[in-house]
Amino acid sequence: MDNAVRVFIKEHDVSDDKYYTVAGMKFEKGREYTHEDYMKLPEDVRFELIDGVFYEKYPSDPITGMAAPNRKHQELVSEMVYRIRGHIEIKGSDCEVYPAPFAVRLKEDDKNTVEPDVSVICDPSKLTDEGCTGVPEWIIEIISPGNPGHDYIRKLNLYLNAGVIEYWIIDPIDRLVSVYEFGKGITTPKVYAFDEEIPAGICDDLKISLSKF
């Protein structure tokens, strides 16, 4: 493995002003990493590459200390995939839905590879053996208690600028869903409670309620 990508923390390492640390791994500050570097990461870590910088997909929960997604997070991912896939099959759509881990290379500059919790891709030409090369039409993220700003700020701006048509942020703590309709030029979200019927702009006639959560 490329030592420039995977540099473990040791007592004799150079000072931290030259490196930043993500989940116990050090990366060079000022270096713009690429998708090639992303593909060299260990399989047991879940990182995302945004504007050439690595971030942890699931930062540690400040209360539990867990870095892995919790049960409710996974239940919500499964529910969204189940509901969307069922609708696609009924409608006979060309769209496909994928849960994380699923690598999405967003931009042509090769410095942005993310793993959305749920990705809906309606152009089959974007699909590769690695995942998706191009912009999914619809992305859904379930926020992590360890770093909600990653989804609400950093990834929101990334998805907006990349050309994602619809972006949902699901907050399992406050039981709210923020729906951004970037494809309509709307950057202010519509916010729904879990017990409301939430319309999906990408999938005609699909409305999703998360009341059971």
Residue 38 burial class via C-beta count within 10 angstroms: exposed 0-12, middle 13-18, buried 19 and up: buried
Mean pLDDT on 104-110: 89
Percent above pLDDT 70 for the chain:
88
CATH number for the domain harbouring residue 96 = 3.90.1570.10
Q: Which amino acid is at 191?
A: V
pTM of this structure: 0.88
Q: Are residues 109 and 178 located together in one domain of the fold?
A: yes
Q: Residue 194: CB partners within 8 Å, gap ≥ 6? A: 175, 176, 177, 209, 210, 211, 213
Q: Between 157 and 108, where is the model more confident?
A: 157
Residues 74-94: pLDDT tens digits?
A: 999 999 999 999 999 999 999
Q: Are residues 101 and 177 located together in one domain of the fold?
A: yes
CB distance 115 to 57 below 8 Å: yes
Domain total in the chain: 2
Taking 3-state DSSP, the helix, strand and coil percentages for the chain, each rounded to the nearest 5, stand at 25, 30, 50
pLDDT for 17 equals: 84
Percent above pLDDT 90 for the chain:
71
Q: Are residues 164 and 190 located together in one domain of the fold?
A: yes
Q: Are residues 34 and 118 located together in one domain of the fold?
A: no
Residue 11: give the domain boundaries.
Answer: 7-56
